Amino acid sequence: MTTLDEIGVYWDMFINGSRVPLHPFFIRVLKVYGLAPGQFSPHAWHFMSFFIHQCHKLGLNPRVRVFRWFFTICTITKQVGWYFLSRRPKAKANLSPHPPSSNHHWKERFLFVKLPKSQRSEVNNVWLAECETRACNKLREIDLSETDLEHIGKLKRAEPLESRYPLSNAQLCKCGIIFPLEPQDFANEADEEEEEEEEGKNDPDKALTKP
């Protein structure tokens, strides 16, 4: 991790629902994969922002393990250090409209933005040359809790999103991507996920079968 004031991003991140300061869910997903924000493709930010939006509509806190149940991380062919997200074939849910058509020039529109002091030590500014995508995508490595399974069920049963791409500023405000919750408000959810992971490891009876 780095404490540099600025991070390298690209304009299409903001078109696809990202804002600075970064929503805590974005930071947690980046941490799981060890990536810097600029390494995710525009479609990845599209899926993450609509996941937050759908969770908000259902009254759910966005959980990283649940998100990983629906999506896998993939390498952009022949391009070292670039990654996108893909829906798992069997994990169908109304989590987002179809992403926009690919813009092959998005890598040409990079810029630097300043993070607030509270996020500078949380966001990786050093690009990871190679992410172990196969290891990251193995469901057996994700210990789903009862709460995770409950959230997955609600998301799978949810009505299709009426939102058209992209999310409006009003929608981004409502789900906390603009003017996100205070870090401590999200920390409780993060701590709960970590505690559930430890309980699953220590108590075989609580280890749940993956869907």
The pLDDT tens digits for 27-50 are 999 999 989 998 999 889 999 999
Strands (E), 115-188: none
Given a cut of 80, is residue 187 above it in pLDDT?
no
Place 204 in a pLDDT band, splitting at 50, 70 and 90: very low
Place 151 in a pLDDT band, splitting at 50, 70 and 90: very high
Residue 28 to residue 13: CA distance in whole angstroms: 17
pLDDT tens profile 89-148: 777 777 777 666 666 777 778 788 888 888 888 888 777 766 776 667 776 546 788 999
Given a cut of 60, is residue 23 above it in pLDDT?
yes
pLDDT given at position 85:
92
Residue 11 to residue 103: CA distance in whole angstroms: 11
Given a cut of 70, is residue 189 above it in pLDDT?
no
Given a cut of 50, is residue 211 above it in pLDDT?
no
Token duo for residue 88 = 């798992």
Selected residue with higher pLDDT from 207 and 79: 79
Angle formed at CA 90 by CA 96 and CA 95, multiple of 5 degrees: 10
Place 162 in a pLDDT band, splitting at 50, 70 and 90: low
> Taking Cα atoms as reference points, which of 61, 36, 39, 38 lies closest to residue 51?
61
Given a cut of 60, is residue 7 above it in pLDDT?
yes
Instruction: Say if residues 41 and 103 touch (Cβ distance below 8 Å).
Output: no
pLDDT given at position 152:
92
Q: Is the pTM of this model over 0.95?
A: no
The SS3 assignment for 68 reads: helix
Token duo for residue 34 = 């060890």
